[in-house]
Amino acid sequence: MKKVLDITKEHCPMTFVKTKIELSKLNDGDILEVLLAEGEPLDNVPRNAKEQGYNVLSIEHVEGTTHKVTIKK
């Protein structure tokens, strides 16, 4: 099951707070695609996901300052 979360307009701490809340709702094997801005979110969201045991499958540049991080539980 795949879900998309757009946090491009959010600021700290809601960037990783919202990501964490969505991640905790996932079942094993589910995928969360997070659209985020570069800078603080791009630096912190993938790292935090990894630290908490989630698999960061990829980090891609979408357009402009937006990036997509694909995370699997």
Partner 1 sequence: MAENKKLSIIAFSGDFDKLTAVFTLGTGAAAVGYEVNIFFTFWGLDAIKKKQGRSFTGGNWLTKIFGFMMGGLKVTPTSRFNFLGAGPKIFRYLMKKNNVATLEELVEAAKALGINMYACEMAMHVLGLKKKDFIPEVKDVLGVASFLNLSDGGQTLFI
Q: Which residues bind partner 1 (CB under 8 A)?
A: 9-14, 16-21, 44, 48, 51-52
Can 12 be counted among the known catalytic residues?
Answer: yes
* Smallest separation (angstroms) from partner 1 to the CB of 39: 14
The least distance separating partner 1 from the CB of residue 72, rounded to whole angstroms, comes to 18
Report whether 45 contacts 15 (CB < 8 A). yes
Separation of alpha carbons 26 and 42, rounded Å: 21
Candidates 12, 14, 17, 57; catalytic one = 12
Alpha helix segments (H runs only) across 2-39:
14-24
- Cβ proximity to partner 1: between 31 and 37 the closer is 37
Amino acid in position 8: T
